[in-house]
Structure 1
Amino acid sequence: MKQAEKMQAEDRRVQIISRSTDLFLEQGFAGTSMSMIAKRCGITKASLYHHFNGKDELFVACVTSGYQRALDALTEIIAQADRPAGQKLAEAMTVLYDITISSSVGRMSPLIAEVSRTFPNVARSFHSEYIAPQQDLVWNLIEAGQASGEFKDLDRGLLFHMLFGPIVTLSLSREMFSTFDDLDEHFPVGHLRDGHLNVILGMLRKDR
């Protein structure tokens, strides 16, 4: 494929993801068909299947849209070997909050919970393509802190529930009450993130 054709195909894919996200939010996963998506995108159903093998794959692409940039940001933070692990964790948590609350994942978090119960293959794909990569990167950061003596040795499963659970809960809460005029007063992201970070560092640091 020529470079121009490749860029055109990528632009089309981005457009499909954007319009499909809106449609999933309007109609739900079960209420959205590939025919409806093709019509919304102004393309044929055959053309849609050229970009995505099925609705499951397209849904996962919608909720993880732009996610690679977040993974790249986490990778860059972790690679900074001359900085304390605590500082890197603070920056990493800012990225985690951003990608979970301010991205497509945040907008679609209630729908993700619904779809994951009904369609296990979607849940598995979402975990392998979204959850697992960021957990692995964060664990690399934690292990570096343990190796340097800055962090304690803690159970990975317990730590991840403490670290990722509140972020997911906040995302769901903000979407559940998104019509509130005073949403940020009820669920202030920056304040809650900073408090969350202090709790996690309190668990991890040996000097506490």
Structure 2
Amino acid sequence: MKPTGTAMTRVGRPSKAAQDAASEKIMAVAMELFADRGFAGTSMEQVASRCGMGKDTLYRRFPSKVALFEAVVEHAHRRAVDRLADMRSAAEEPLPRLKALMQAMLHMNMDADLIALKRITFSETVVFEKREPFPRQPDPIMDRLIDAVRAAQAAGSIRAGDPAALANHLIHCLVALPTSIAMLGGDAYDDASAVQAHFDITWLWLMEGVSAQASNL
């Protein structure tokens, strides 16, 4: 006999949109907790509670807190890749385009959430069994920088050499100081204007050198 009266609602799997929304919420909540409380101070129970879901549901997606943290790092890195992909420089020449890209990469690296994730990654190497979750290779951000260096070389704007080695040297010179200070809790680069001032002088030194006789070499 077929049921009569109120129709029975069939409960199925959540739609892809609902699953994506849940994943975004988990990433946002976990990022906030990790950044605020650190790795040790954040629990799977806290994340599940903030997301309004059961702990078992969270564990079905992420079998451990390490797996969740690595997913948060990957998510943050994908967002950074998307931000750079959306960047459109008004500059036509390769060197100004390289400058705009490096400026964007510096400000991106100084993002407070990314600094917090880097701090956790470097301070919890034993927990992560010396894995390198930030970022995984190959890195599309570095690939884009290498391409920009290669284009500037082809235009004769910067000297010849291995573009990958040059790109790594340029970005290291640019980000090592401010990110290290921020990761250690210093506030010298908390203001965007201080970050920009660091970029301006470092770019000048990188492009023109620091020797008083550089123009004669």
Change (3 A) 1:71 1:190: same
- 8 Å Cα contact 2:118-2:134 kept in structure 1: no
Looking at both structures, which has the greater relative contact order when contacts are Cα pairs under 8 Å and sequence separation is at least 6? 1
Q: CA offsets, 1:31-67, max 9 Å, x none? A: 4332332233221123213433432332133235454
Of residues 122, 135, 139, the one that matches 1:127 is: 135
Q: 2:178 corresponds to which residue? A: 170
Counterparts of 2:130 and 2:141, CA distance in 1: 20
More helix by share: 1
Counterparts of 1:24 and 1:101, CA distance in 2: 17
Q: Quote the offset at 1:120 in angstroms.
A: 4.1
Q: Which amino acid aligns with 1:173?
A: I
Q: Quote the offset at 1:26 in angstroms.
A: 4.2
- Whether 1:25 aligns to 2:35 is yes
The alignment partner of 2:66 has SS state of helix
Counterparts of 2:42 and 2:118, CA distance in 1: 17
Change (3 A) 1:40 1:168: farther
Deviates more, 1:113-122 or 1:95-104: 113-122
Of residues 90, 102, 106, the one that matches 2:111 is: 102
Number of residues of Structure 1 aligned to a counterpart in Structure 2: 196
Q: TM-score, normalised by structure 2?
A: 0.71
Q: 1:145 corresponds to which residue? A: 152
Alpha carbon RMSD of aligned pairs, Å?
3.4
Change (3 A) 1:6 1:168: farther
Tell me, which stretches of 5 or more residues in structure 2 are unaligned? 1-13, 210-214
- Whether 1:154 aligns to 2:161 is yes
Q: CA offsets, 1:117-151, max 9 Å, x none? A: 6424642x32316x822111100111122223322
Change (3 A) 1:59 1:152: same
- Any residues of structure 2 matched to 1:7-46 within 5 Å, and which? 7-46=17-56
Counterparts of 2:15 and 2:160, CA distance in 1: 50
Q: Quote the offset at 1:68 in angstroms.
A: 3.1
Tell me, which stretches of 5 or more residues in structure 1 are unaligned? none
Counterparts of 1:165 and 1:55, CA distance in 2: 33
Counterparts of 2:37 and 2:185, CA distance in 1: 19
Q: Quote the offset at 1:159 in angstroms.
A: 4.4
- 8 Å Cα contact 2:76-2:114 kept in structure 1: no
Change (3 A) 1:25 1:122: farther
- 8 Å Cα contact 2:106-2:175 kept in structure 1: yes
Percent identical among aligned pairs is 23
Counterparts of 1:48 and 1:111, CA distance in 2: 21
Change (3 A) 1:38 1:126: same
